[in-house]
Amino acid sequence: MPEFIEAVHPKVALISVGRHNLFGHPAPLTIETLRAAGAQIYRTDKKSAIMLSTDGSALNVRTMLGP
Protein backbone atom coordinates (compact mmCIF):
# COMPACT_ATOMS: atom_id res chain seq x y z
CA MET A 1 0.00 0.00 0.00
CA PRO A 2 2.76 2.57 0.61
CA GLU A 3 3.60 2.39 -3.10
CA PHE A 4 0.00 3.20 -4.01
CA ILE A 5 -0.14 6.16 -1.61
CA GLU A 6 3.15 7.48 -2.99
CA ALA A 7 1.81 7.16 -6.54
CA VAL A 8 -1.47 9.04 -5.95
CA HIS A 9 -0.25 11.73 -3.46
CA PRO A 10 -3.59 12.05 -1.61
CA LYS A 11 -4.47 15.41 -0.08
CA VAL A 12 -7.45 13.99 1.82
CA ALA A 13 -8.14 10.48 3.13
CA LEU A 14 -11.58 9.36 4.34
CA ILE A 15 -11.73 6.28 6.52
CA SER A 16 -15.11 4.75 7.25
CA VAL A 17 -14.78 2.74 10.45
CA GLY A 18 -16.99 1.97 13.41
CA ARG A 19 -16.07 3.17 16.87
CA HIS A 20 -14.61 0.39 19.06
CA ASN A 21 -14.51 -2.06 16.13
CA LEU A 22 -13.18 -5.50 17.01
CA PHE A 23 -10.64 -5.57 14.19
CA GLY A 24 -8.52 -2.59 15.27
CA HIS A 25 -9.13 -0.70 12.04
CA PRO A 26 -7.61 1.38 10.67
CA ALA A 27 -4.20 -0.25 10.89
CA PRO A 28 -1.52 1.97 12.43
CA LEU A 29 0.64 1.49 9.32
CA THR A 30 -2.19 2.88 7.18
CA ILE A 31 -2.42 6.03 9.31
CA GLU A 32 1.38 6.45 9.35
CA THR A 33 1.57 6.03 5.57
CA LEU A 34 -1.18 8.58 4.94
CA ARG A 35 0.34 11.09 7.37
CA ALA A 36 3.79 10.68 5.80
CA ALA A 37 2.22 11.43 2.41
CA GLY A 38 0.77 14.66 3.83
CA ALA A 39 -2.88 13.59 3.60
CA GLN A 40 -5.45 15.19 5.90
CA ILE A 41 -7.18 12.20 7.53
CA TYR A 42 -10.89 12.13 8.39
CA ARG A 43 -12.33 9.12 10.23
CA THR A 44 -15.99 8.39 10.85
CA ASP A 45 -15.21 6.94 14.29
CA LYS A 46 -13.72 10.31 15.31
CA LYS A 47 -15.78 12.85 13.32
CA SER A 48 -19.06 11.01 12.60
CA ALA A 49 -20.50 12.05 9.23
CA ILE A 50 -18.06 13.54 6.72
CA MET A 51 -19.38 15.74 3.92
CA LEU A 52 -17.40 16.67 0.83
CA SER A 53 -18.33 19.32 -1.69
CA THR A 54 -16.51 20.82 -4.63
CA ASP A 55 -17.01 23.57 -7.17
CA GLY A 56 -14.85 21.63 -9.61
CA SER A 57 -11.65 23.24 -8.38
CA ALA A 58 -11.66 23.51 -4.59
CA LEU A 59 -12.56 20.73 -2.17
CA ASN A 60 -14.50 21.54 0.99
CA VAL A 61 -14.62 19.01 3.84
CA ARG A 62 -17.06 19.34 6.74
CA THR A 63 -17.64 16.92 9.58
CA MET A 64 -20.59 16.48 11.87
CA LEU A 65 -18.42 16.84 14.98
CA GLY A 66 -16.38 19.81 13.79
CA PRO A 67 -12.70 20.26 12.98
d(CA 48, CA 65): 6
**What pLDDT, on the 0 to 100 scale, is given for residue 66?**
75
**What pLDDT, on the 0 to 100 scale, is given for residue 55?**
97
22: left (phi over 0), alpha (psi -120 to 50) or beta: alpha
**What pLDDT, on the 0 to 100 scale, is given for residue 21?**
87
**What pLDDT, on the 0 to 100 scale, is given for residue 40?**
96
Q: Which residues of the chain have pLDDT under 70?
A: none
**What pLDDT, on the 0 to 100 scale, is given for residue 6?**
87
Cβ neighbours around 34 below 10 Å, total: 20
pTM: predicted TM-score of the whole model, two decimal places: 0.84
Q: Report the SS3 class of residue 6.
A: helix
